[in-house]
Structure 1
Amino acid sequence: MPLSETAVIRSRRVVLPDGERPADVLIRDGRIEQIAEHGSLLAGDQHLTDLGDTALLPGLVDTHVHVNEPGRTEWEGFATATRAAAAGGVTTIIDMPLNSIPPTTTVAGLEAKRKTAEGQAWVDLGFWGGAVPGNVPDLEPLYRAGVFGFKSFLAPSGVDEFPHVEAADLEAALAEQARIGALAIIHAEDPTVLDSAPQQPGVHYRDFLASRPADAETAAVVRLLDTARRTGARVHILHVSSAAVLPLLRQAREDGVRVTAETCPHYLTLAAEQVPDGDTAFKCCPPIRDESNRDALWAALAAGEFVAVVSDHSPSTPDLKLLPEFGGSGDFAKAWGGIASLQLGLPAIWTEARRRGHTLGDVVRWMASGPASLVGLTGTKGAIAVGHDADLVAFDPDADFAVNAGELHHRNPVTPYAGRTLTGAVRTTWLRGRVVDVAAEPFGRQITRPADGQITRPEETQ
């Protein structure tokens, strides 16, 4: 359907902000113009798609994706990542400032990414900036250039060109981000705790888990919250794996600290007890923890303590994962840490959410409207609402399928979900009213942080 035409999408299960109900959704010029009673909009010369009992969801918003291009395109790239996103019902991604070369720590680095991404995106695409030692003068220019905020690591990132911040670096970066009104997103593990943890190489997952203890997350969050209190910065804790940090976040919010947190599908659907020896597809940092911790994360999610569930899609080549089936050693200590799951997040979460009594509306809140709100896209993305972009997903919540890693659109066929049976299949994805056909030409757009060109002062965001 050309963008200028109108269309009606009809379903008996449309997931709207106020609940799920039968409805007709009228699309004109790429936006949702009307939401009407089921069957009330006559097709006429409009294109009608009747989904029957297949659910209609808003396109998901994934604010935590490592595309890795330019520089490490053999790990992943804009074409492969955005095809995977579209196939998984994700219509907007925000790309992390590493593991690309150059990283997005300067305006020049941002422009290198934008130039490389031109004409390659099957979904809409935005960018995070990076806050690293010594680049405080770059933060305001990057923010004015449209990045959605700034990522920092409190422990080594794994790549030399994106160093972690020490205490003085963190203080300076958060003070500057508070001044310009930017969101700070933080990988929170404490390097001192990590250095003192037992380091036992080998194929046993229990040894790797002991090397990244929950105490490392707790210590890092304590330090971050203390700095956020002093600077007034708005901070967001990335990929929370340990439920032990949740009471700290609750108390900080009660004290007036502006802090939010996210978690990821792998922490909610996988457990340490399930990880086979040598299966380094499961390695990520912070690590997948035990079943009781997973249950506590679900309880926190149900209670509204996480604003988003996002992928932290961080793939690499099979040789770096050291997988035995690719001739590797299966050594968890030496393998690259990152989970490839961008195409599978929605069915993975739905499989477990349904088992625990949650609804499609819950999943939409966690994976669409919540992430959209985090990055300021509430008025255009993450909901089926009048005036929003017609980013939509036809989702069959009852369809089961077995994950074949070789059939995914990710550049490399590595995922811990390989061989698992998941429930829920994406049938069609629409981006601004147009069906996304990953075999055709891409038409995703590059998006920037919503702003009027003025730096927002912290007192204006209280």
Structure 2
Amino acid sequence: MFDLLIENGRLVMPDGIVRKSMAVKDGRIAAIFPSQKNVDAKHTVDAKDCFILPGVIDDHTHFDEPGYTEWEDFFHGSRAAAKGGVTTILDMPLNNVPPVTSAVRLQKKAALALGKSYVDFGLWGALIRTNRKDLPDLAEAGAIAYKCFMCDAGSDYTDLNLEEIADRLQVLKQLGGLAGFHCEDFQMLKDSEEQCLREGKKARQDYLNVHSIASEKKAVSDLIDVVRNTGARAHICHVSHPDVAELIAEAKREGLHITAETCPQYLLLRDTDYLKRGAIFKCSPPLRSETARKQLWQYVADGTIDTVASDHSPCTLARKDESGLKGAFGAWGGLSGVQTTLQGFWNLAVHEHEASPLLVAKVLAENPAKIFGLWGRKGALLPGFDADFVLLDAQRDWEIKAKQLEYLNKFSAFVGLTGQGLPVATYLRGQCIYEDGSFPAAPQGKFVLAKGHPVV
């Protein structure tokens, strides 16, 4: 007898969408049957013609614990994730105090999240100037990937220059590890911001001018050269502009081992939102033009951009204040989006662009699983995989409202957006963790480690 049977849904599988029943046993997908077949199960769920998608793997979040728990924590961030159809998050090594630069710090962060997280979680390790010697131990401890900044991220999280990047990529190549990069050119940003502040230019437009497309393109181009010369692989985070995506497309055509991510903000919002409505819309790289927003979609559709992740980077509302000495430059640059990624992207892809739900499953689940070493356990509705899935009502209209957000700080640049297609139930390893406004189970998220390590 099976533990759970899901009937009357449309399963979004890697090779197509089928109307079949899905059975779960011991937390895994046990079998997929024709809908008419009689199957014994302890519990049966009528999916009521919903689409059943693999649980979203959000490969870029900042839950800010330990250290900045007044901004966000695993409890609130993971509830928001579960409500949004996310079943696994891959959390960044910052903003944490201390940042996750060593195996000991990674293990402490994992222990802290256990018992608090509603969803499974993997942890990125840091890739900074002073932790080269820690990389083997981080790999052994199960770091899912390693985050590097090509611009200033703060004194406790140093950027790497191109020579250091080449060296670290060689180290990670030997360890089977993957580095992810924030691509904005250090010197271009530093020089132009300092000049702006000297001249008293600290408005929102000045921030956009400093964080230019040229800066992002230069960093990506430089990184591509390093990958070409080392034969290593790299993952480019939060691609914000089609010109940047075109560089990545060219590198892929060349056969280089590069993958790329964009975020809902670059597909749904635009620079005028930030200019008119303020720092709640400030992020880095920043929002781009309406034309760029529309053109970036094509690079998701054609596979140049592999994943769509939230880059969920919350803070208190006070940290969005622009009245300080640095004006717009002083406000926190990050958006809260882990809860609304699936519904926002579904509406954009399926309703606005008439794309197949297969694309949604590919960029939100299948590709992240394959890139970050989780394939075979997560990322698809296939027998033997974890029974992580979401029921999405394609006919459900929605408007994002602040009171509906599960974040610790209930504000988001996505408030006010409307669309159609809403996750109504989320299952983690066969257990319902969210259903139409309620959380029926206690937090049970597990620490998932990179390929070669067991789930613990």
CA drift at 1:196: 4.1
Q: Give a deviation string over 1:276-302, Cα, whole Å, max 9, x none.
A: 524211110001101111122111111
CA distance in 2, matches of 1:15, 1:8: 16
Measure the CA separation in 2 of the matches of 1:247 and 1:436: 39
| Residue in 2 that maps onto 1:82 | 78
Letter in 1 for 2:449: T
The aligned residue for residue 169 of structure 1 is: 164
Asked if residue 191 in structure 1 is aligned to residue 186 in structure 2, the reply is yes
Q: Alignment length, in residue pairs?
A: 445
Q: Which range moved further: 371-380 or 84-93?
A: 371-380
Could you list the runs of 4 or more consecutive aligned residues of structure 1 that deviate by over 6 angstroms after TM superposition?
Answer: 200-203
Shift of 1:209: 1.6
Mapped partners of 2:440, 2:31: distance in 1? 30
Residues 276-425 of structure 1: matches in 2 within 5 Å?
Answer: 276-322=275-321, 331-353=327-349, 354-425=351-422
SS in 1 for 2:117: coil
Instruction: Quote the Cα distance in structure 1 between the aligned partners of 2:49 and 2:441.
Output: 28
* CA positional deviation for 1:101: 0.8
Q: What is the CA deviation profile of residues 194-219 of structure 1, one whole-angstrom value per residue up to 9, with x for unaligned ones?
A: 23446377896433221210001111
Report which stretch shifted further, 437-446 or 412-421. Answer: 437-446
> How far apart, in 1, do the equivalents of 2:126 and 2:453 lie?
22
1:419-454 alpha-carbon deviations (Å, 9 max, x no partner) = 22232221111100011153641111111112169x
After superposition, the Cα gap between the structure-2 partners of 1:332 and 1:278, relative to the gap in structure 1 and judged at 3 Å, is farther
Deviations 1:105-136 (A, max 9, x none): 11121122012112111111111111101211
- Any conservation in 2 of the 1:263–1:306 contact (CA below 8 Å)? yes
Aligned positions of 1:25-424 closer than 5 A: 25-42=22-39, 44-157=40-153, 159-197=154-192, 199=196, 205-322=204-321, 331-353=327-349, 354-424=351-421
C-alpha contact 2:148 2:181 (8 A) present in aligned 1: yes
CA positional deviation for 1:330: 11
Q: 2:429 aligns with which of 414, 429, 432?
A: 432
Q: CA deviation at 1:321?
A: 1.3
Distance 1:329 1:161, change over 3 A: closer
How many Å separate the matches in 2 of 1:420 and 1:251? 34
Could you say what secondary structure the match of 1:333 adopts? helix
Q: 1:5 to 1:227 in 2, by over 3 A?
A: same
CA displacement 1:190-247 (0-9 Å, x = unmatched) = 0222234463778964332212100011110121112222222210100000211223
Q: Structure 1 length as normaliser, TM-score? A: 0.91
Q: Is the 8 A contact 1:404 1:418 kept in 2?
A: yes
Distance 2:243 2:222 in 1: 15
Quote the offset at 1:185 in angstroms. Answer: 0.6
Q: Distance in 1 between matches of 2:325 and 2:404?
A: 25
Query: 1:37/1:45 Cα in 2 relative to 1: closer, same or farther (>3 Å)?
Result: closer
Q: Report the secondary structure of 2:303's partner residue.
A: coil
Distance 1:276 1:397, change over 3 A: farther
Q: Structure 1's 38 and 244: CA in aligned 2 closer, same or farther, altered over 3 A?
A: same
Structure 2 SS opposite 1:47: strand
Hey, what does 1:448 align to over in structure 2?
A: 449
Structure 2 CA distance, aligned partners of 1:300 and 1:144?
35
Q: 1:167, CA displacement in angstroms?
A: 2.8
| Deviation for aligned residue 1:331 | 4.5
- Please identify, of 95-104 and 194-203, the stretch whose mean Cα deviation from structure 2 is larger: 194-203
Listed one character per residue, the Cα deviations across residues 31-67 of structure 1 (whole Å, up to 9, x for unaligned) are 111111123233x453111112222111000110111
Between 1:169-178 and 1:363-372, the stretch displaced more is 169-178
**Partners of 1:414 and 1:253 in 2: how far apart?**
37
- Contact (CA 8 Å) 1:126, 1:448: kept in 2 or not? yes
Shifted more, 284-293 versus 394-403: the winner is 394-403
Shift of the 81–236 alpha-carbon distance from structure 1 to 2, 3 Å rule, reads same
Kept after mapping to 2: 8 A contact 1:57/1:392: yes
CA distance in 1, matches of 2:63, 2:266: 21
Q: Is the 8 A contact 2:274 2:282 kept in 1?
A: no
User: What's the TM-score once normalised by structure 2's chain length?
Assistant: 0.93
AA paired with 2:272?
A: E
Q: Give percent identity, aligned residues only.
A: 36
Query: In the TM superposition, what whole-angstrom CA distance separates every residue of 1:120-178 from its partner, at most 9, and x where no partner exists?
Result: 11111111111101211111110111001211000011x33211112332232122112
Q: Quote the Cα distance in structure 1 between the aligned partners of 2:453 and 2:393.
A: 40
Residue 12 (structure 1) shift: 3.7
Deviates more, 1:202-211 or 1:217-226: 202-211
